[in-house]
Amino acid sequence: MENSDFQLVPEHIPKDHPLVTRDYSLFTPAIEKMVSTIGRWLDDQFDGATIYGASRLGKSSAVDNWLEGLLAARYGGFIPMVIWSHTESGGASASGRFYANLLEAAKHRLARSTRSPTERLGMLVDRFEQLSAQAGGRFVVLVIDEAQGMTMREWLWLVELHSMLEKKRIRLCVISIASVQFRDDPINLAMAGGAHVAARFLLTAARFHGICDEAQLGYVMSGYDEGSEWPVGSGISFTASIIPELWSNGFRLASYAAPLWEEFINQLPHRYDGPHEIPMKTISVVCRRILLLLASGRAVSDVLSKKSISEIVEHSGHGALMAIISAGAPRGRTPKG
């Protein structure tokens, strides 16, 4: 293990490199499936549906970095989409704040101006109508990340918005991105008197998976080797830019998917009761550490020895995170979507 004054990021690595800032997102099979599923829901003109999954699998990253662009490519152009990461609106009279949050997500220039709740709702309807017109159609997609935090009041305010748009013949599709426990919320809402909310927005769901096997892990790791770029426009991958000499000599991070997958499974918590799906959070921490250790001049045989891989995976917090996932793992029937 490193001594106490060890610095992981070597001085010669630019401080704005994505591996240093961790400001990047790699494409995964789960993202591909999520986009395909949401595309099918849009084709079927659902009013709402849910993507749910355990913490740190990469749901928010998928929404922030991939969803809008890939759906636009699927439909051949601009897609009228508003992405909102849920924040609590406050008390029972905070509908104005709720609408202001949605106006800000929709990039309305007067989102934070002083207006009554009724005026803000009207502004929001106008903004959504404008977005639908831009796309040449009569629909808008609202994606709510962290939707498990939505209160009954907020769902009811959303029903009001949905109804007002319906009167203008504009279809609003609400896609909720939520934690795995959220899959039970439609029933809970119905039992609490919100059956119309559940029937409108939460009628179907699909699960967002982590990395499920060695092949998928290799695919994701190859993103560092081939599916990434830095500096932008250079055509140079993360691996090539961090360890250019090793890259020139044939080193590829994806070649080590097998021992890494084995260690991820070996370090699952005792009596682990969740799915064998590795979160992207863990994978990114581990791959980043491997590449930065190699960039510091350490030998491949040292950094990627069985002992070192075991220490790197342990250092990533993999065991603790998987214990949390196990505690909240879905049990029983999974909704289909």
d(CA 138, CA 126): 13
Collapsed DSSP state (helix, strand, coil) of residue 143: strand
Tokens 């096997």 sit at which residue? 213
CATH 3.40.50.300 in the chain, residues? 27-205
Beta strands in 44-170 (DSSP E): 48-53, 81-85, 139-145
Max distance between CA atoms of the chain, in angstroms, equals: 66
Picking from 74, 84, 168, the residue whose alpha carbon sits closest to that of residue 129 is 168
The answer to whether the CB of 201 falls within 8 A of the CB of 213 is no
d(CA 253, CA 71): 30
Q: Please state the φ and ψ torsions of residue 277, each to the nearest 5 degrees.
A: -130, 120
The answer to whether the CB of 337 falls within 8 A of the CB of 287 is no
Q: Which two tokens stand for residue 314?
A: 């342990």
The answer to whether the CB of 169 falls within 8 A of the CB of 200 is no
The answer to whether the CB of 68 falls within 8 A of the CB of 131 is no
Q: What is the pLDDT of residue 198?
A: 82
Q: What is the pLDDT of residue 219?
A: 97
49, β-bridge pairs: 175
Q: Please state the φ and ψ torsions of residue 190, each to the nearest 5 degrees.
A: -60, -40
Q: What is the pLDDT of residue 334?
A: 40
Residue 86 burial (CB count, 10 A): 20
The answer to whether the CB of 189 falls within 8 A of the CB of 183 is no
206, β-bridge pairs: 51
Instruction: Label residue 279 exposed, middle or buried (CB < 10 Å: 0-12, 13-18, 19+).
Output: buried
The list of the chain residues with pLDDT below 70 reads 1-6, 90-93, 181-194, 328-337
Q: Please state the φ and ψ torsions of residue 206, each to the nearest 5 degrees.
A: -140, 150
The answer to whether the CB of 328 falls within 8 A of the CB of 179 is yes
Picking from 294, 287, 277, the residue whose alpha carbon sits closest to that of residue 243 is 294
Q: Are strands 48-53 and 171-179 parallel, antiparallel or unpaired?
A: parallel
d(CA 171, CA 165): 7
CA angle 9, 11, 13 (to 5 degrees): 70
User: Global pTM?
Assistant: 0.87
DSSP state of 191: I
CATH class of 27-205: alpha beta
Q: How long a stretch of residues is the chain? A: 337
Picking from 66, 16, 14, the residue whose alpha carbon sits closest to that of residue 39 is 66
